[in-house]
Structure 1
Amino acid sequence: MAHAVELYDTTLRDGTQAENFNLSVEDKIRITVALDKLGIDYIEGGWPGSNPMSVEYFNKMQSIKLNHAKLAAFGSTRHLKNSPEDDPNLQALIAAKTPAITIFGKSWDIHVHEALRIELEDNLRIIRETLAYLRPRVDHLFYDAEHFFDGFKHNEEYALLTLESAIEGGAETLVLCDTNGGTLPHELSPIIHRVQHYFADKDIKVTLGIHAHNDSESAVANSLLAVADAKVNQVQGTINGFGERCGNANLTSIIPALVFKLGMECEVRKHIDRLYSTSRYVNELANLPHNRYQPYVGESAFAHKGGIHVSAVKHNPLTYEHIQPDRVGNIRRILISDQSGRSNILHKAKQWNLKLSPDDPVLPTIIAKLKELENLGYQYEGAEASFELLMRKALGLKRNYFEFESFRVMNHKYRMDKPPLTEATIRLFVGGREVHTAAMGDGPVNALDTAIRKALTRFYPCLEKMELADYKVRVLSGEKGTEARVRVLVESRDEQCTWGTVGVSVNIIEASWQALVDSINYKLLKDLDP
């Protein structure tokens, strides 16, 4: 019988060390909530002793309830010159008030001498004393054995002693880290088995985990092998494999393999159909393009282009698909057929209580419109409110709350040492009544947003409770320079919920206007026609 596996996500800490991967505090909170819904067991939120942003994140998370996941704070062993009570990093970990703390320490004797510049015995002592100090102050205490596999190869005896010190200090799980990512799969299992035998010979019960980096393109393979062959109990990784240098073990590849290939028990099994949307959500919030060729969650993972493949898949998908795409929330795409996206659209219609059957003649119209818009650069993973409005329009269910006639945005740079003055003017109609108004703003998008609200709030007071929570711009065709098409993603919120809308144009103001108009329409739909 397959054993249970804990899934530990470190996207918000290790993942953010990736080049060009940046998240605001609010982004980190949104991702935390999404990972909790996915069923991740532990979410590493960051290193509270390293920067003010991490401190702010942990402070805000204290008022947010997670349904399943436990939040973990990350930090290092104490400084040799500090007692645990006086070590600022340890005190920051305790102040984060998380149910779990993960401490990393040195396993490689070279790092002890060259990085910490202390004696080997001193390193064993700070590992043991750090964990012993934290043990009564936290529910779950994990130890990340940094550079363990390299340290084991260089000095096996000492690497094992560092693990024993962690156990003596009270570590609940020993996580073996391939920090440089250079360990190959055939090396991994013998080393983990040696660790297990070492503690078995001492009659010490240990729980092991794996934390692999991808510098040899082996992180996923190493993680799966650690579970399947060496029976480790915890797997650490990041969504989409983000991480320093070449990245970390990719949980979007590991999770479905654990569930569908190895039959492992984990909470994510209950929610694994969220995997595709979670993967894309993280990319959208990080403002990074999706890797269409990514296994399981990429757009091309279940795409079939032509010839014998298409014919075979139509008769039996198993001929060219190793799992059913909807099991991870993805869809099959027959690139030369209008079947692409049909099941996904029907699923969304059901979710939004829209009457749409598989034989409805409107369905091909929606599919064709969706394809047309996707070719222009629209993406709806982070903008489902726009997609719902699109479907309602096709079904004749979209009410016109207002009608835009025109808008104008002006930037006036009157002094080089001062920010420009920005003014937006709009003209629209509500129930046949013309409204012509203007507003100033901090930039063109803010001015346009303010002018729209100024015009409509008198008719729809509920808009006063709506605010723009996030705004992101992505250049879709960088080779065209300033002529490139851009996609604008807007996230709005009110007292009840948040929703995303999208706009695409070669003009960033027009793209922003599209997203803003959709956002207001969705708010009015939600409040006036629930």
Structure 2
Amino acid sequence: MVENPNGHTDGRRIEMYDTTLRDGTQGAEIALTLADKLKLTIALDELGFDYIEGGYPLSNPKDAAYFDKVRDLDLKHARVTAFGMTRRKGIEAKDDPGMQALVASHAPVITIVGKTWDLHVDEVLRVERDENLAMIRDSVAFCHQADTTDEVFYDAEHFFDGYRANPDYALDTLRAAVEGGATRLVLCDTNGGSLPEFISHAVTNVRETLGLGDTLDNPTGPLLAIHVHNDGALAVANSLAAIETGCVQVQGTINGIGERCGNVDLIPIAANLRLKLGYDCLRDDALKGLHHLAMLVYEMVGMTPVAGQPYVGANAFTHKGGMHVHAVQRIAHSYEHIEPDAVGNQRRVLVSELAGASNIAAQVGAKFGIADDRDVQRKVLEKIQDLEHQGYQFEAADASLELMVYEALGKRPAFWELGHYRCVILKRQRDEETSTEGTVKLNVDGTTEYRVAEGDGPVNALYQALIKCLADHYPEVRTIHLSDYKVRVVNPTAETAARVRVVIEFRYTAEDGSTRVFSTVGVDENIVEASWEAISDAFQYLLIETRAGITV
């Protein structure tokens, strides 16, 4: 029995069915390689996902190869599922290439999708309604009778729209699937426009009308599952409503990726089921791996992580307002609904013009020994407020913030004096490549360093020239690498004379071999000067940290 923090217990097991590999890749500009699909399969299995939908074996060579390769994986828990459509009209299931491909995949579970909404039967599929029922029944039965198939799930496409328009026929399609031997009846909100109250009503009515159970313990027949899309921003609420009224399985994707507005996000589903409602799902310790899983999928599909994603986003436990930070430092749950590490995330405190002294103390107080020095905290805060008025922002520029603290303490050393820098961009003919040359002149410990470097644009050229100037004096600068570069106009009404904010992320290799990451910010009307400020601050920060023996 799982304790429910909301005041009651409910140990009912809920199956987690992941369709990131299939339905998720139907999202715009989302694709997974075969290697990605196999790697994600292993990651999902390790967390205890019950079913992993690999794709449609007949749709493309990659999906066909997946079902060959996945059999070589030593999966501990998950069952791989093949997805396909019902047989075509006017042909026996055994003669349909799609049906043959599903069985040939040797997947232990097959999911068949069929038409449930009479509008689709009449106007899209254009078959007689009885023929549609036969297509569902025959397809499920054919897969169910295959020697390599243990279970067959029936995806009732557009079920809720169909149930709203013609409940009797929608129920008939489910009965046809049951007659064919389906073990799960998956109610799909394919258009994603239903509301939780209607979901609850429909699920309850289906379960009672068909006499279906609501628990995985000793089922006497098929059970209900839920598969919803997020077009009304209610996918999580709709899925939870369906589970509360009798569904034993929830289908969705990691991070909610998928067609149009996406599928239900299984990350908050899993967290809500276990932490809020007391259901049993995934492995007992799986929730701590949710953050890693979410980031893994973002990396695989080339998407920028959603900072505001519930539970696992970078901002999910981030505090900015001074009053909030003060409260969290005293009682964390006063502004946090769960402990961040319960889902593998962590608390962050931001420093900005909205901050109070508590933010300064929380973020840098321990490192600089100013946790109780209100004068220094307020001095730094006033500087931040002044600079943010000019367009600076320090939420994503931790190194620049710390440099301000060094200045406030009178401890920021000068590693060099700038003589000048210059960039020359040469472009001759329209079809010729552009060349860029950067020149930097510094005074370093009484020595004049005057170096020139070519680069891919002015920022890269100056960056390379600065390294040349410093490397003989400070060898550690050779380990620093620019890993991300962002630029934003902060006063667009000034048009081409607008000020820009440049935030640059850097990585460097520490003496222990580990990789450290930090960011700096620069602001100016000239994008090159803003970039130079961020770059030179990064080099100074690196030298302070490494030479002072303080870990970044």
1:447 to 461, 473, 477: 461
The aligned counterpart of 1:359 is 372
Give the SS at the match of 2:246.
Answer: coil
The aligned counterpart of 2:189 is 178
The aligned counterpart of 1:508 is 527
Whether the 8 Å CA contact 1:209–1:235 is kept in 2: the answer is yes
The aligned counterpart of 1:413 is 427
Whether the 8 Å CA contact 1:8–1:235 is kept in 2: the answer is yes
Report matched runs for 1:420-439 at 5 Å.
420-439=434-453
AA aligned opposite 1:338: G
Query: Does residue 488 of structure 1 match 2:506?
Result: no
TM-score, normalised relative to structure 1: 0.63
Whether the 8 Å CA contact 1:332–1:340 is kept in 2: the answer is no
Cα distance in structure 1, aligned partners of 2:492 and 2:111: 41
Gaps (5+ residues) in structure 1? none
Q: 1:415 Cα shift? A: 1.5
Cα distance in structure 1, aligned partners of 2:400 and 2:442: 21
**Given the superposition, is the C-alpha separation of residues 203 and 289 from structure 1 closer, same or farther in structure 2, using an over 3 Å criterion?**
closer
The aligned counterpart of 1:192 is 203
Whether the 8 Å CA contact 2:163–2:170 is kept in 1: the answer is yes
Report matched runs for 1:19-418 at 5 Å.
77=85, 83=97, 108=117, 110-111=119-120, 120=132, 121-122=134-135, 146-153=157-164, 154=166, 155-157=169-171, 159-160=173-174, 164=178, 168=182, 176-194=187-205, 196=207, 198=210, 200=212, 204=220, 209-230=225-246, 232-234=248-250, 236=252, 239=255, 244-246=259-261, 248-249=263-264, 257-258=272-273, 261-264=276-279, 286=303, 323=337, 338-339=356-357, 341-342=359-360, 344-345=362-363, 354=367, 356=369, 358-361=371-374, 362-371=376-385, 376-378=391-393, 380-381=395-396, 404-418=418-432
Whether the 8 Å CA contact 2:440–2:452 is kept in 1: the answer is yes
The aligned counterpart of 2:517 is 499
AA aligned opposite 1:360: D
AA aligned opposite 2:450: H
The aligned counterpart of 2:3 is none
The aligned counterpart of 2:91 is none
Cα distance in structure 2, aligned partners of 1:357 and 1:134: 70
Q: 1:518 Cα shift? A: 5.3
Cα distance in structure 2, aligned partners of 1:477 and 1:438: 33
AA aligned opposite 2:212: A
**Given the superposition, is the C-alpha separation of residues 490 and 18 from structure 1 closer, same or farther in structure 2, using an over 3 Å criterion?**
farther
Of residues 458-467 and 408-417 in structure 1, the stretch that sits farther from structure 2 once superposed is: 458-467
Whether the 8 Å CA contact 1:252–1:296 is kept in 2: the answer is no
**Given the superposition, is the C-alpha separation of residues 502 and 304 from structure 1 closer, same or farther in structure 2, using an over 3 Å criterion?**
closer
Deviations, residues 409-435 of structure 1 (Å, cap 9, x unaligned): 333332222342222222334444332
Percent identity (aligned)? 29
CA RMSD between the two structures: 6.4
Whether the 8 Å CA contact 1:444–1:509 is kept in 2: the answer is yes
Whether the 8 Å CA contact 1:9–1:40 is kept in 2: the answer is no
**Given the superposition, is the C-alpha separation of residues 303 and 425 from structure 1 closer, same or farther in structure 2, using an over 3 Å criterion?**
closer
Gaps (5+ residues) in structure 2? 1-8, 89-94
Deviations, residues 141-192 of structure 1 (Å, cap 9, x unaligned): 9886543333444432354258659975xx8x76543221121111112333
Whether the 8 Å CA contact 1:340–1:367 is kept in 2: the answer is no
Q: 1:315 Cα shift? A: 11
Cα distance in structure 1, aligned partners of 2:321 and 2:440: 46
AA aligned opposite 1:216: G
**Given the superposition, is the C-alpha separation of residues 232 and 522 from structure 1 closer, same or farther in structure 2, using an over 3 Å criterion?**
farther
Deviations, residues 433-479 of structure 1 (Å, cap 9, x unaligned): 33222222233333333333444444555555554444444455555
**Given the superposition, is the C-alpha separation of residues 311 and 123 from structure 1 closer, same or farther in structure 2, using an over 3 Å criterion?**
same
Q: Aligned pair count?
A: 499
AA aligned opposite 1:442: D
Cα distance in structure 2, aligned partners of 1:250 and 1:316: 30
Deviations, residues 361-401 of structure 1 (Å, cap 9, x unaligned): 444444445555555352545x5565566666666776666
Whether the 8 Å CA contact 1:112–1:123 is kept in 2: the answer is no
Cα distance in structure 2, aligned partners of 1:480 and 1:74: 56
Deviations, residues 346-367 of structure 1 (Å, cap 9, x unaligned): 6xx66xxx25464134444444
**Given the superposition, is the C-alpha separation of residues 339 and 311 from structure 1 closer, same or farther in structure 2, using an over 3 Å criterion?**
closer
Whether the 8 Å CA contact 1:220–1:254 is kept in 2: the answer is yes
Deviations, residues 271-303 of structure 1 (Å, cap 9, x unaligned): 679979x89x979x8569967999998699988
Cα distance in structure 1, aligned partners of 2:198 and 2:138: 29
Cα distance in structure 1, aligned partners of 2:451 and 2:285: 53
Q: 1:314 Cα shift? A: 12
Deviations, residues 89-148 of structure 1 (Å, cap 9, x unaligned): 999x99xxx999998666556556766778634466666777998977xx9998865433
Give the SS at the match of 1:200.
Answer: coil
User: Which has the larger Rg?
Assistant: 2
